[in-house]
Protein backbone atom coordinates (compact mmCIF):
# COMPACT_ATOMS: atom_id res chain seq x y z
CA UNK A 1 0.00 0.00 0.00
CA UNK A 2 2.81 2.40 0.89
CA UNK A 3 4.52 1.77 -2.44
CA UNK A 4 1.30 2.48 -4.35
CA UNK A 5 0.76 5.72 -2.41
CA UNK A 6 4.35 6.79 -3.08
CA UNK A 7 3.97 5.96 -6.77
CA UNK A 8 0.70 7.91 -7.01
CA UNK A 9 2.25 10.85 -5.21
CA UNK A 10 5.19 11.01 -7.62
CA UNK A 11 2.81 10.65 -10.61
CA UNK A 12 0.69 13.55 -9.32
CA UNK A 13 3.81 15.71 -8.98
CA UNK A 14 4.86 14.78 -12.52
CA UNK A 15 1.39 15.66 -13.83
CA UNK A 16 1.46 18.95 -11.94
CA UNK A 17 4.70 19.88 -13.69
CA UNK A 18 3.60 18.60 -17.12
CA UNK A 19 -0.20 18.17 -17.39
CA UNK A 20 -0.02 16.42 -20.79
CA UNK A 21 2.47 13.77 -19.67
CA UNK A 22 0.91 10.43 -20.78
CA UNK A 23 3.40 8.28 -18.88
CA UNK A 24 2.62 10.05 -15.59
CA UNK A 25 -1.12 9.59 -16.23
CA UNK A 26 -0.66 5.86 -16.77
CA UNK A 27 1.49 5.58 -13.67
CA UNK A 28 -1.14 7.46 -11.67
CA UNK A 29 -3.92 5.19 -12.93
CA UNK A 30 -1.86 2.08 -12.14
CA UNK A 31 -1.04 3.41 -8.66
CA UNK A 32 -4.72 4.26 -8.01
CA UNK A 33 -5.73 0.75 -9.17
CA UNK A 34 -3.16 -0.74 -6.80
CA UNK A 35 -4.47 1.40 -3.94
CA UNK A 36 -8.04 0.32 -4.74
CA UNK A 37 -6.94 -3.33 -4.79
CA UNK A 38 -5.23 -2.91 -1.41
CA UNK A 39 -8.40 -1.34 -0.04
CA UNK A 40 -10.49 -4.30 -1.26
CA UNK A 41 -8.06 -6.79 0.27
CA UNK A 42 -8.18 -4.93 3.57
CA UNK A 43 -11.98 -4.96 3.46
CA UNK A 44 -12.08 -8.72 2.78
CA UNK A 45 -9.67 -9.41 5.64
CA UNK A 46 -11.67 -7.14 7.95
CA UNK A 47 -14.92 -8.92 7.05
CA UNK A 48 -13.28 -12.30 7.67
CA UNK A 49 -12.04 -11.11 11.07
CA UNK A 50 -15.49 -9.77 11.94
CA UNK A 51 -17.05 -13.15 11.09
CA UNK A 52 -14.56 -14.95 13.35
CA UNK A 53 -15.31 -12.51 16.17
CA UNK A 54 -19.06 -13.08 15.68
CA UNK A 55 -18.62 -16.87 15.84
CA UNK A 56 -16.45 -16.70 18.95
CA UNK A 57 -18.82 -14.26 20.63
CA UNK A 58 -21.74 -16.60 19.93
CA UNK A 59 -19.79 -19.53 21.40
CA UNK A 60 -18.85 -17.44 24.43
CA UNK A 61 -22.48 -16.42 24.95
CA UNK A 62 -23.45 -20.09 24.91
CA UNK A 63 -20.80 -20.93 27.50
CA UNK A 64 -21.86 -18.01 29.71
CA UNK A 65 -25.50 -19.09 29.49
CA UNK A 66 -24.52 -22.66 30.45
CA UNK A 67 -22.53 -21.33 33.40
CA UNK A 68 -25.45 -19.21 34.56
CA UNK A 69 -27.75 -22.23 34.36
CA UNK A 70 -25.33 -24.32 36.42
CA UNK A 71 -24.97 -21.57 39.03
CA UNK A 72 -28.74 -21.23 39.26
CA UNK A 73 -29.13 -25.00 39.67
CA UNK A 74 -26.39 -25.04 42.32
CA UNK A 75 -28.12 -22.30 44.32
CA UNK A 76 -31.42 -24.15 44.03
CA UNK A 77 -29.86 -27.37 45.33
CA UNK A 78 -28.08 -25.57 48.17
CA UNK A 79 -31.35 -23.95 49.18
CA UNK A 80 -33.06 -27.36 49.20
CA UNK A 81 -30.25 -28.86 51.31
CA UNK A 82 -30.57 -26.00 53.77
CA UNK A 83 -34.34 -26.46 53.98
CA UNK A 84 -33.93 -30.20 54.53
CA UNK A 85 -31.41 -29.64 57.31
CA UNK A 86 -33.66 -27.12 59.00
CA UNK A 87 -36.72 -29.38 58.75
CA UNK A 88 -37.79 -30.40 62.22
CA UNK A 89 -38.89 -33.94 62.92
CA UNK A 90 -40.50 -34.10 66.35
CA UNK A 91 -41.15 -37.85 66.04
CA UNK A 92 -37.45 -38.60 65.50
CA UNK A 93 -36.52 -36.37 68.41
CA UNK A 94 -38.99 -38.21 70.71
CA UNK A 95 -37.65 -41.57 69.52
CA UNK A 96 -34.15 -40.37 70.20
CA UNK A 97 -35.06 -39.29 73.72
CA UNK A 98 -36.90 -42.55 74.44
CA UNK A 99 -34.19 -44.87 73.11
CA UNK A 100 -31.22 -42.79 74.19
CA UNK A 101 -29.47 -43.32 70.85
CA UNK A 102 -29.11 -41.20 67.82
CA UNK A 103 -31.53 -42.34 65.15
CA UNK A 104 -29.94 -40.40 62.36
CA UNK A 105 -26.16 -40.66 62.05
CA UNK A 106 -24.08 -37.75 60.95
CA UNK A 107 -23.72 -38.22 57.23
CA UNK A 108 -20.21 -37.97 55.87
CA UNK A 109 -18.85 -39.03 52.55
CA UNK A 110 -16.68 -41.67 54.13
CA UNK A 111 -19.44 -43.21 56.26
CA UNK A 112 -21.83 -43.13 53.32
CA UNK A 113 -19.33 -44.95 51.13
CA UNK A 114 -18.77 -47.62 53.81
CA UNK A 115 -22.53 -48.07 54.27
CA UNK A 116 -22.98 -48.31 50.53
CA UNK A 117 -20.34 -51.06 50.25
CA UNK A 118 -21.98 -52.97 53.14
CA UNK A 119 -25.37 -52.72 51.47
CA UNK A 120 -23.93 -53.96 48.17
CA UNK A 121 -22.35 -56.96 49.91
CA UNK A 122 -25.67 -57.82 51.53
CA UNK A 123 -27.44 -57.62 48.19
CA UNK A 124 -24.90 -59.87 46.49
CA UNK A 125 -25.34 -62.65 49.11
Cα distances from 72 to residues 1, 34, 62, in angstroms, run 53, 57, 15
Of 1-5, 27-31, 92-96, 99-103, minimum mean pLDDT range? 99-103
- How do residues 56-65 score in pLDDT, each as one tens digit? 999 999 999 9
Predicted model pTM: 0.48
Mean pLDDT of 108-118: 71
Instruction: Tell me: pLDDT of 109 over 70.
Output: no
Q: Are 1 and 38 in contact (CB under 8 A)?
A: yes
- How do residues 3-58 score in pLDDT, each as one tens digit? 777 777 777 777 667 777 777 777 777 878 888 888 899 999 999 999 999 999 99
What are the helix (H) ranges across 1-125? 2-17, 22-86, 90-99, 109-124
Amino acid sequence: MDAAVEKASSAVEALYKAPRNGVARRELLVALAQMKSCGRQAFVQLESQRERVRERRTALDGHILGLQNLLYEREHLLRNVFLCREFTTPQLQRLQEDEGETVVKAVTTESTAVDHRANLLQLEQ
